[in-house]
Amino acid sequence: MQNNSVLEAIRERRSKFRFKDEEVGEDAIESILEAGRWAPSFANLQPWKLVVIQDEELKEDLYEIAGKITLFREGLEEAPVIFSVAVDQEEDPDHYIEAGAVATQNMALAAYSLGLASYWIGLFDITEARKSVEKEARTALDLPKKYRLISLLPVGKSDQKKTGERQDLDEIVVRK
């Protein structure tokens, strides 16, 4: 098996939801945003809107909202910065979900490459239910209705050890 810095980051990155009380510098924030910006998108439409959240009151609001769908939300209050990935469903009606997902993954890998930790909170509600958590979070973030909220990505210095392994390839790969 080959090895390089990208493959190593993919293998070593883990979701971590406990963070130290340390700032994330503006250079790191910009680098993570750049990683999201350079994500692939259908026909290079780039339908995303990346929101940087550092306001303590807004983080508390998102903590309460996310609590309706996940137990792993404590990092929303602890993380020095939270990124939100939203996508314009009018700009790319057929592939906006994938565009938001790959932007989120790029940003998580960039955070790891900078010595930071993150975890992905998926808020997207495929049914776009009237009282969905996605809609509530989108309102809290003051995003127009045309944007669908794919994820929240809390980022900071980890206060957890690495956990989690993967299945062996022979358990998940079919060759034809």
Task: State pLDDT tens for residues 111-139.
Answer: 999 999 999 888 888 877 667 888 999 99
d(CA 67, CA 27): 31
Q: 41 φ, ψ to 5°?
A: -145, 155
Q: Taking Cα atoms as reference points, which of 21, 120, 17, 5 lies closest to residue 74? A: 17
Q: In the predicted model, is pLDDT for residue 70 greater than 80?
A: no
Mean pLDDT of the chain: 90
Indicate the pTM of the whole model. 0.90
Given this model, what pLDDT does residue 163 score? 72
CATH number of 7-172: 3.40.109.10
Given this model, what pLDDT does residue 110 score? 96
Contacts for 115 with CB less than 8 Å, ≥ 6 apart: 157
Instruction: Return the C-alpha torsion angle 20, 26, 28, 29, nearest 10.
Output: 90
d(CA 19, CA 78): 6
Sequence spans of domains, the chain: 7-172
- pLDDT more than 90, % of the chain: 62
